[in-house]
Structure 1
Amino acid sequence: MCGIAGWLGRKIDTDCSSEILRRLTHRGPDGKGEWMSGGVWFGHRRLAVLDLTPDGRQPMISASGRYVLTYNGEVYNYQELRGELEQAGVTFRGHSDTEVVLAACEYWGIELALARFEGMFAFSLYDTLEHVLWLARDPLGIKPLYYAARGNEFAFASELQALQPLPWLDDSIDSAALYAYFRYLCVPAPASILRGARKLPSGSLLRRDAEGIQIICYWDAEAHARAARKDPLQMSFAAAADELEVRLRRSVRLHMQSDVPYGAFLSGGVDSSTIVALMQAESARPVKTFSIGFTDISHDESRYARAVAEHLGTDHHELILNAEDVPALIPMVASFYDEPFADGSSIPTFLVSKFAREQVTVSLSGDGGDELFGGYPRYFWASRIEKWRNRLTRPGAKLTAGILKSVPNVFWDHVVNPLSGHRYGGATGLSDRIRRFSAYLGCPRERAYAMTMSAWPHPEELIGDVEGVLGADAVSYPDLNWAEEMMLVDQGNYLQDDILTKVDRASMAVSLEARVPLLTHSLVEWSWRVPLHFKLAEKGDQGKLLLKEVLYRHVPKELIERPKQGFGMPMAKWLRGPLRDWAESLLGASDLIAAGLNSAPVRKAWAEHLSGEDRLSRLWSVLMYLQWRQNWEKGRKACVA
């Protein structure tokens, strides 16, 4: 894993390019490299994982001297590709996947090479003969890549804050991106929070030459999903589980390739337990596993992770934290995200990454299982809600939704939930699920996803009306089953813009390479061939049936079966306690107005939260935006200094 950057322009400011590279040091503490020719500069910060010798250094020049590569990530099937290239007469001087990526692009051409790569990556390739620049990002968007263009100037970097030193960067706020952020708690690709910068979308290739910029989609989730649905698996549930295990074992085995110590995050949930179980099955020695816990039992899953680790015989390490120690970290963790980002689980993700980095340089993670195999409650409740909507008719559904919303949260959480044996409460409480259920009932299907996923259902209350829509607001697939539609929307938006962004920034802040074996494009494509009833139970609160079948071959069911609990902390309570002074310092009416926000709805939400209502999502999105503005302004002043 590394940090990459580049700048093409009439005159490269070397002081500026040095500052760009310095800002990526945390992504690559093991060394740096630069290449410059005429009006082209490439920079690279190295986190050495494969081929620790100087042969793996970057930027790397091809054997012919025509191409220059700066590359971040891993192509896990590089040894297989190297074998093909060697048979074709290509020679290699080292053993890194970087050299294979470069040789593959030169031999097959970049588009054909991308079709063969299986991994996570973001890279730039410069053709010194044709004077063409290429940028590429992996199919799932696991690795980030930002770019900015203005006139004859063009630059790119692994992180947005690395582009801030550019004297020509337009860093005014993109209002459409801000609107989407207040809805979904993150800024969706291809936008960035700045008008003058963009994210390269997942599965995309950018070409820049004398004619301008062209973006090519080389891998499309929707196209693969639709093709796979026309060719569903024709086999039993048990046979499908056999095939899934074979595919997962191969992916896990490839993701374990490393010349430095590696381990895995383990929460004790389905996804991380499956990855660890298969890692241990592929390893001759105990795999290092890492988990964190809290003295507050309501937000502590460490006992579940410990039980799974003991059963599998891993070399398990856990860190138990006092809740009082965490709030002070929040402003610091916010600084790792170079755009506003309001997923509260970013804090425990950072903490477990920091803990793991004390012993390993690479850690495998179970991210992606929910989106591929149906783990979120909204998936397995979707068809039932649709039936209710049809039975009630639209007016009846709206009336029922209104009645459900009028019932106090305390009734759902402290009366109904205990009576139902806590089967439906999940991580956020039964009242939260009832609120989401009501939103599904009370609005048209095409608006249901946005309304239930929104922090602010109507962001125009904060920033006024904006032109254009981004992220999940811009896509819908009404011809699909409702659950499948939400899975596809999540895979193209929530997974890339929230989950993978969180994991990348939290892990790279401590120079840890996080790998996600569930998210190879071949496995995603195969998952769409799996019949929906192999993923979701027709009755009950159950998803990920096929993935669980694989897991239960290695770990007893009783160690896993329990209500789904998110990787979070008691943030709502902390805002009324140890975080209150920090929040008050940001939420003053004048501060809100200065940030371009309407203060009235924010102050109202703050008062309601202090009185006992839960307004965490709304407030956290505002707080993280305001904290980001402070951090960005500090970065701007550092550039001037």
Structure 2
Amino acid sequence: MCGIAGLWVFGGADGMRLARQAGGMIDRLAHRGPDDRGVWQDDAAGIALANRRLAIIDLSPLGHQPMISADGRVTVAFNGEIYNYQDLRRQLTGEGVAFRGHSDTEVLVEAIARWGADRALAACNGMFGLAVWLADERRLLLVRDRLGEKPLYWSISNGVLYFASELKAIRAELGYHAVPDEAALADYFRHGFIPAPRTAFTGVHQLPPGTCLSVSAQGGVETRAYWSVTDAARRALAEPLIHDDDEILRLTRDLLTDAVRRRMVSDVPLGVFLSGGIDSALVAALMQGQSATAIRSFTIGFDQAEFDESAAAEATARALGTDHHTLRVGAADTRDLVPHLAGMYDEPFADASSIPTALLCHLARRQGRVTVALSGDGGDEAFAGYSRHVWADSVHRWRQRPRWVRQGLAALDATLPDSWIDGAAHLLKPGLRQPADKVGKFLGAVAAADEDQAYVAMLGMRADTILRPDLALAAAAPVALPEGGDPALRLQVRDLARYLPDGVLVKVDRASMAAGLEARAPLLDPRVVEWGLRLPPRQRVRDGRGKWLLRRLLADHVPAGVVVAPKTGFGAPLGTWLRGPLRDWAATLLDTAADDGLIQAPVATALWRDHLSGRHDHAGRLWTVLSYLSWKATVA
């Protein structure tokens, strides 16, 4: 795992300038790779590649990057892991390739030199953002992995191409030319993140997952997708899995076991993030089943019971026999971390679970002394685990009703105070978390004008009302969907194409890299994702619950009743924190809203007062505003 950066001055440049600029860019990403630093340049071509290395495979100098192929034709700066590199190495060795070290980077660079970039990429099972310089062609390739686990940004300004693993390295080079993109920021208020290929800055782009960007010496840019979720879904619909429950359980167990095994290959200590939920417990179980010693597992605990999964995680750890560690998060931890999140993410980012994620990564790296941690990320998207997947059929049926009926229900919801809906719901089901928000999501999806807007409603941000009324909101292009498919599958495709790479994986990458930790997600093995999409509806959602298949698999590893924590989405007691340890920080930021040209300060202030009164928990919408204002303060 690493950070990469670089630049290409079309037409050539002074070598000292290239080395200085590339070095300055990569040094801003030192947190991503504390173990080694490398800069390579070709003065005549005007290109420089740079790398900061977190050494995982082959800790020797033979793993140093940027790395040049034995024939000198290919140079690579690589961020990520190739999980099937041992298979590829054996194949290349059989074709006569001689290796100097045993890193996956060397396998990658020699595969590109031997087979060409297209064949090499198709053969790689991994997560990566990489830059490939093809000397003979005088062409640069920028490539991102299939699901978007690793980031890659780029920009062309004044005849220079810049690229980096994080925006901060590019923004510093662009200086005052890095102007905030109002349309992208407006879309942030819809999604809680900025969808690729946009970023928070005009002229700076994020490479979408599964994409290769080819740049010529004349500055010509061509983009092509070498893999997409939409195409994977089309293949799934053309070739669905048709197996009885016992057979599908056996086949899936074998596939997941292999995906976990490949992600346990490491020359440094590794562990697992363990919540009280299904996905991480299953990953931990499959890890422990392939380890001769107790694996190290890590979780976060909160004082607020409805957010605390630590007891369930500890029960799972005891059942599996892991060496378990729990970090109790206090007010001081939160207060110290939150002001630094804007700098960590480089863009407004509204997922408050970034707080416990960052703290958990710090725990695993510093106290647990592991450099690699496996996670359960991807299970919800690949196997239909979100509540919206369970609602999908109901939303679809309601959307067939006359539009006036659907809009009338949504209008009624908008007129009723959230506190009334909360009170009525709690009479029917005490302890239900934020029922007004759940009702709003459902009715917003039912009333939406089209399927894309229905999906945005189900994400539940409900923050676009804070924006300036004249601001256009349809900034992000709709996700391409295959023809056909059940309603839950169509939501899964949207989640895999947008919510996962631009939300979940951004959160995990920045939080883990800030701690100098590599996070690996076996459930995001492309084979696993495509397998999940091929499952028939009944083997994804059954008896009113998602992830039926993963639940059944986990039952083989832990006693019944051990994993009992309700799904929280790795939530945090944000509402309580905003009334307590984060109150002064939030109030100070909200005071700056009056001078902002994007949001309506009176609306934000009204939400803040209502939240402080305790009438309704507006933490989600307030966090969206606060994350934006905190980010804006860093770019002012």
TM-score range, shorter chain: over 0.9
**Distance in structure 2 (CA, Å) of the matches to 1:178 and 1:566:** 24
- After TM superposition, the structure 1 stretch with the greater mean CA deviation from structure 2, 313-322 or 131-140, is 313-322
**Secondary structure of 2:630's aligned partner:** helix
CA RMSD of aligned residues (A): 2.1
Taking structure 2 as the reference length, the TM-score comes to 0.94
**Distance in structure 2 (CA, Å) of the matches to 1:475 and 1:457:** 25
**Distance in structure 1 (CA, Å) of the matches to 2:111 and 2:469:** 47
Q: Is 2:635 the partner of 1:632?
A: yes
Structure 1 residues 331, 463: CA separation in 2 closer, same or farther (over 3 Å shift)? farther
Q: Is 2:439 the partner of 1:430?
A: no
1:621 maps to what in 2? 624
Q: Which amino acid aligns with 1:377?
A: S
Instruction: Map 1:479-518 onto structure 2 (within 5 A).
Output: 479-518=484-523
**Distance in structure 2 (CA, Å) of the matches to 1:262 and 1:418:** 46
Q: Is 2:285 the partner of 1:280?
A: no
- After TM superposition, the structure 1 stretch with the greater mean CA deviation from structure 2, 16-25 or 381-390, is 381-390
1:329 corresponds, among 332, 337, 354, to 337
**Distance in structure 2 (CA, Å) of the matches to 1:574 and 1:374:** 31
Does the CA contact (< 8 Å) of 1:74 and 1:120 recur in 2? yes
2:455 maps to what in 1? 449
2:383 maps to what in 1? 373
Structure 1 residues 51, 250: CA separation in 2 closer, same or farther (over 3 Å shift)? same
The superposition leaves residues 509-559 of structure 1 with CA deviations (integer Å, 9 ceiling, x where unpaired) of 01000000100112111111111110102x43x110011111111112311
Q: Aligned-pair distance for 1:443?
A: 2.8
The superposition leaves residues 446-469 of structure 1 with CA deviations (integer Å, 9 ceiling, x where unpaired) of 221122325245468337434862
Q: Which amino acid aligns with 2:2?
A: C
Q: Is 2:39 the partner of 1:34?
A: yes
Does the CA contact (< 8 Å) of 2:378 and 2:524 recur in 1? yes
1:639 maps to what in 2? none
1:564 maps to what in 2? 567
Q: Aligned-pair distance for 1:600?
A: 3.2
Q: Aligned-pair distance for 1:166?
A: 1.4
Structure 1 residues 169, 136: CA separation in 2 closer, same or farther (over 3 Å shift)? farther
Does the CA contact (< 8 Å) of 2:273 and 2:280 recur in 1? yes
Q: Is 2:66 the partner of 1:59?
A: yes
2:190 maps to what in 1? 183
Instruction: Map 1:213-224 onto structure 2 (within 5 A).
Output: 213-224=221-232
Does the CA contact (< 8 Å) of 2:19 and 2:48 recur in 1? no
2:610 maps to what in 1? 608
Does the CA contact (< 8 Å) of 1:586 and 1:623 recur in 2? yes
**Secondary structure of 1:70's aligned partner:** strand
Q: How many residue pairs were aligned?
A: 624
- After TM superposition, the structure 1 stretch with the greater mean CA deviation from structure 2, 610-619 or 66-75, is 610-619
1:636 maps to what in 2? none
Does the CA contact (< 8 Å) of 1:179 and 1:463 recur in 2? no
Structure 1 residues 219, 169: CA separation in 2 closer, same or farther (over 3 Å shift)? farther
Q: Is 2:586 the partner of 1:579?
A: no
1:398 corresponds, among 382, 402, 407, to 407
1:117 corresponds, among 117, 121, 124, to 124
Q: Aligned-pair distance for 1:621?
A: 1.5
Does the CA contact (< 8 Å) of 2:463 and 2:621 recur in 1? no
Q: Which amino acid aligns with 1:442?
A: A
**Distance in structure 1 (CA, Å) of the matches to 2:512 and 2:382:** 23
Q: Aligned-pair distance for 1:605?
A: 2.7
Percent identity between the aligned chains?
41
1:259 maps to what in 2? 267
Does the CA contact (< 8 Å) of 2:541 and 2:547 recur in 1? yes
Q: Is 2:3 the partner of 1:3?
A: yes
Q: Which amino acid aligns with 1:544?
A: K
Q: Aligned-pair distance for 1:335?
A: 2.0
**Secondary structure of 1:136's aligned partner:** strand
**Distance in structure 2 (CA, Å) of the matches to 1:477 and 1:456:** 28
Q: Which amino acid aligns with 2:627?
A: M
- After TM superposition, the structure 1 stretch with the greater mean CA deviation from structure 2, 453-462 or 234-243, is 453-462
1:461 corresponds, among 456, 460, 467, to 467
**Distance in structure 2 (CA, Å) of the matches to 1:82 and 1:17:** 31
**Distance in structure 1 (CA, Å) of the matches to 2:438 and 2:473:** 31
Structure 1 residues 248, 624: CA separation in 2 closer, same or farther (over 3 Å shift)? same
**Distance in structure 2 (CA, Å) of the matches to 1:515 and 1:570:** 26
Q: Which amino acid aligns with 1:153?
A: V
Structure 1 residues 462, 238: CA separation in 2 closer, same or farther (over 3 Å shift)? farther
Q: Which amino acid aligns with 1:564?
A: K
Q: Aligned-pair distance for 1:385?
A: 2.8
Q: Which amino acid aligns with 1:318?
A: T
Does the CA contact (< 8 Å) of 2:331 and 2:577 recur in 1? no
The superposition leaves residues 471-518 of structure 1 with CA deviations (integer Å, 9 ceiling, x where unpaired) of 5x4555674322211111110000000000000000000100000010
2:55 maps to what in 1? 48
Structure 1 residues 13, 630: CA separation in 2 closer, same or farther (over 3 Å shift)? farther
**Distance in structure 2 (CA, Å) of the matches to 1:408 and 1:454:** 17
**Secondary structure of 2:235's aligned partner:** helix
Structure 1 residues 421, 548: CA separation in 2 closer, same or farther (over 3 Å shift)? farther
Give unmatched runs, 5+ long, in structure 1.
Answer: 634-641
1:302 maps to what in 2? 310
Does the CA contact (< 8 Å) of 1:44 and 1:58 recur in 2? yes
**Distance in structure 2 (CA, Å) of the matches to 1:226 and 1:606:** 45
Q: Is 2:391 the partner of 1:386?
A: no
Q: Is 2:355 the partner of 1:360?
A: no
- After TM superposition, the structure 1 stretch with the greater mean CA deviation from structure 2, 12-21 or 290-299, is 12-21
- After TM superposition, the structure 1 stretch with the greater mean CA deviation from structure 2, 351-360 or 293-302, is 293-302
Q: Aligned-pair distance for 1:169?
A: 7.1
1:86 corresponds, among 93, 100, 117, to 93
Does the CA contact (< 8 Å) of 1:462 and 1:599 recur in 2? no
Give unmatched runs, 5+ long, in structure 2.
Answer: none
Q: Aligned-pair distance for 1:351?
A: 0.6
**Distance in structure 1 (CA, Å) of the matches to 2:168 and 2:596:** 22
Q: Is 2:556 the partner of 1:549?
A: no
The superposition leaves residues 125-160 of structure 1 with CA deviations (integer Å, 9 ceiling, x where unpaired) of 101222110111100000000111124210111100
Does the CA contact (< 8 Å) of 2:140 and 2:214 recur in 1? yes
**Distance in structure 2 (CA, Å) of the matches to 1:555 and 1:432:** 34
**Secondary structure of 2:534's aligned partner:** coil
**Distance in structure 2 (CA, Å) of the matches to 1:465 and 1:398:** 22
1:638 maps to what in 2? none
Structure 1 residues 467, 554: CA separation in 2 closer, same or farther (over 3 Å shift)? closer
2:595 maps to what in 1? 593
**Distance in structure 2 (CA, Å) of the matches to 1:201 and 1:586:** 32
Q: Aligned-pair distance for 1:196?
A: 2.3
1:535 maps to what in 2? 540
Structure 1 residues 562, 17: CA separation in 2 closer, same or farther (over 3 Å shift)? closer
The superposition leaves residues 156-177 of structure 1 with CA deviations (integer Å, 9 ceiling, x where unpaired) of 1110001123157731011221
Q: Which amino acid aligns with 1:7?
A: L
Q: Aligned-pair distance for 1:198?
A: 0.5
Structure 1 residues 207, 325: CA separation in 2 closer, same or farther (over 3 Å shift)? closer
**Distance in structure 2 (CA, Å) of the matches to 1:122 and 1:142:** 9
Does the CA contact (< 8 Å) of 2:390 and 2:488 recur in 1? yes
**Secondary structure of 2:136's aligned partner:** coil
1:208 corresponds, among 181, 205, 215, to 215
Does the CA contact (< 8 Å) of 1:179 and 1:459 recur in 2? no
Does the CA contact (< 8 Å) of 1:535 and 1:543 recur in 2? yes
Q: Is 2:159 the partner of 1:149?
A: no
1:19 corresponds, among 19, 24, 31, to 24
**Secondary structure of 1:493's aligned partner:** helix
Q: Aligned-pair distance for 1:598?
A: 3.5
Q: Is 2:476 the partner of 1:470?
A: yes
2:181 maps to what in 1? 174
**Distance in structure 1 (CA, Å) of the matches to 2:250 and 2:508:** 29
**Distance in structure 1 (CA, Å) of the matches to 2:345 and 2:382:** 26
Q: Aligned-pair distance for 1:593?
A: 2.5
